Structure 1
Amino acid sequence: MDTVRSLLLFVLAALAEIGGAWLVWQGVREHRGALWVGAGVIALGLYGFVATLQPEANFGRILAAYGGVFVAGSLGWAMVMDGFRPDRFDLIGAAVCLAGVAVIMYSPRV
């Protein structure tokens, strides 16, 4: 159950961080205004909170693993929200990152 909880928290963290960064981007780069930027800042703060809910106690391990989730999640977000079409190298890179997440977070520790 801890693994399922951990995976769900990674997904929630990705939505908050990637969504927050996207909102800031939209507010600044696409000139949508301060409300978009403010919503993005709030979402980014929520990301920081969600990361603390992981069952693993080691901050470095969680953030290292989350990096791989962020890579794959960013490509997925861009596909859905911006119509981005990843090429095979994007997909291979994301798969390698997710494999790294699995090794870092879910390998048996001795």
Structure 2
Amino acid sequence: MFKPLAVYILAAIAEIAGCYSLWAVLKLKQSPAWLIPGALSLCAFAWLLTLIDTPAAGRAYAAYGAIYIAASIGWMWLIEKRPPDLWDGAGLILCLAGSALILFAPRTA
């Protein structure tokens, strides 16, 4: 259980960092050089998801979605200084429960 969670957390950090590099260039008028580490970060994100032990890529991506939502809410709270409200928290709990169900459900095949 802990290995997939660690991989998903690292993937979320890599994805947010990669996406933020494009945001920084387009919205914050940073140097296009930001796109180089951003592209590498997005490659690391994609590679990390291949480490999830499942025969179906779609299942790994679907389960990852909740981790990304959690990381995004954390970003909003810690970086943008906008605390999540009750609905953010409730939605996140639903997403995490769904992710756990997708990833850890007993399967016969």
Structure-2-length-normalised TM-score? 0.90
Deviation of residue 109 (structure 1)?
1.8
Where does structure 1 lack aligned partners over 5 or more consecutive residues? Answer: none
Give % identity.
Answer: 33
- Which residue matches 2:53? 55
Is 1:10 matched with 2:16?
Answer: no
Corresponding residue pairs, total: 108
Where does structure 2 lack aligned partners over 5 or more consecutive residues? Answer: none
- Which residue matches 2:24? 26
Q: Supply the distance in 1 between the matched residues of 2:56 and 2:64 (Cα, whole angstroms).
A: 12
Q: Supply the distance in 2 between the matched residues of 1:76 and 1:31 (Cα, whole angstroms).
A: 24
* CA offsets 1:11-58 (integer angstroms, 9 cap, x no match): 111110012112221121111121222222211111001111112221
Q: Supply the distance in 2 between the matched residues of 1:78 and 1:41 (Cα, whole angstroms).
A: 22
Tell me how large the CA RMSD over aligned residues is. Answer: 1.3
Aligned positions of 1:1-110 closer than 5 A:
3-110=1-108
Is 18-27 or 62-71 further displaced after alignment? 18-27
Relative to structure 1, is the Cα distance of residues 84 and 19 closer, same or farther in structure 2, using a 3 angstrom cutoff?
A: farther
The answer to whether the Cα contact below 8 Å between 1:28 and 1:37 also exists between their aligned partners in 2 is: no
Which secondary structure does the structure 2 equivalent of 1:82 belong to?
coil
